[in-house]
């Protein structure tokens, strides 16, 4: 099961209504994890990304945004340390959240509140070939890969393209690996979070992912562009930020896509 998330809402004058979305998976192990991206939701429904290092102890975790100053300032994020205190060593229940601006000596609780949320619930692996009962929401039907599915993939990949690492939400889209057949197709194992141009290449059969190595390949016509030629056969999919095996792309779905791509390009699978 993909665990719930901690949503931290800001109430200071400049950031009122913005929400940091922090999966509880980030705090599963004691230790330090560097360069962790996470989603930030705006008060009008937009999304952005912040980067931090996460130092987790038995009863608290410190998220330090200062080491990634250049990135965070480009995205209008504060620099400082967010401290989360837990009720027990399982770190499954929060009892306090504090913030300290970079260069200031003390933490404060004045500007932040928190709640537990469930942005996506996944209890079982993706089952290929299943067709869900009922119809998907209209926006998903008209624009497959967007709507709720996009929210899921943004959450799972921490708001970063799983090929390039691009963290500009406006150009990120959710791509289905197996074709859309209903709500069940919106399982995170059947999705990739891709920059818009890569999504178009993937859907057009000009890009594929090797199911075993997870290396990204492009058709010859796409390799005419240096950016794609540099990635061809060298870049591998980034792992999901949260969810582990329940979010990692389905090997069977990738293999089905790969066979079609390989036959068209090299005459074999």
Matching residue, tokens 């200031």? 104
Q: Give the per-residue pLDDT at 228.
A: 96
What is Dmax (Cα atoms) for the chain? Answer: 65
| Cα distance between residue 172 and residue 209, in whole Å | 18
For 87-119, the pLDDT digits (tens) are 999 998 999 999 999 999 999 998 999 999 877
Q: Are 242 and 153 in contact (CB under 8 A)?
A: no
Q: Give the per-residue pLDDT at 137.
A: 37
**Spans of the chain below 50 pLDDT:** 132-145
Q: Give the per-residue pLDDT at 134.
A: 43
C-alpha gyration radius of the chain = 20
Alpha helices in 116-183 (DSSP H): 138-142, 148-156
Q: Give the per-residue pLDDT at 120.
A: 74
Listed by start position, the domains of the chain span: 5-117, 138-266
Q: Give the per-residue pLDDT at 141.
A: 37
């Amino acid at each position: 099961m993909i665990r719930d998330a901690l949503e931290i809402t800001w109430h200071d004058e400049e950031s009122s209504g913005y929400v940091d979305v922090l999966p509880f998976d980030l705090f599963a192990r004691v230790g330090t994890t560097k360069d962790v991206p996470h989603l930030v939701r705006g008060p009008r429904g937009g999304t952005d990304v912040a980067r931090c290092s996460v130092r987790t102890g038995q009863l608290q975790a410190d998220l330090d945004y200062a080491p990634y100053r250049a990135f965070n300032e480009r995205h209008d994020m504060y620099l400082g340390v967010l401290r989360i205190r837990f009720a027990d060593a399982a770190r499954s229940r929060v009892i306090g959240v504090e913030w300290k601006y970079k260069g200031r000596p003390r933490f404060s609780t004045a500007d932040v509140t928190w709640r537990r949320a469930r942005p996506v619930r996944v209890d079982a692996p993706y089952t290929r070939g299943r067709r869900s009962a009922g119809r998907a929401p209209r926006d998903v039907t008209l624009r497959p890969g967007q709507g709720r599915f996009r929210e899921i993939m943004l959450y799972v990949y921490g708001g970063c393209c799983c090929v390039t690492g691009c963290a500009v939400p406006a150009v990120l889209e959710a791509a289905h690996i197996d074709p859309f057949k209903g709500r069940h197709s919106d399982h995170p194992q059947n999705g990739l979070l891709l920059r818009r141009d890569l999504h178009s290449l993937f859907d057009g059969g000009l890009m594929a992912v090797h199911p075993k190595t997870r290396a990204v390949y492009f058709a010859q016509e796409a390799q005419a562009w240096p950016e794609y030629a540099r990635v061809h056969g060298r870049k591998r999919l980034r792992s999901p930020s949260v969810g582990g095996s329940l979010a990692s792309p389905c090997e069977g779905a990738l293999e089905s896509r790969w066979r079609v791509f390989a036959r068209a390009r090299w005459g074999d699978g």
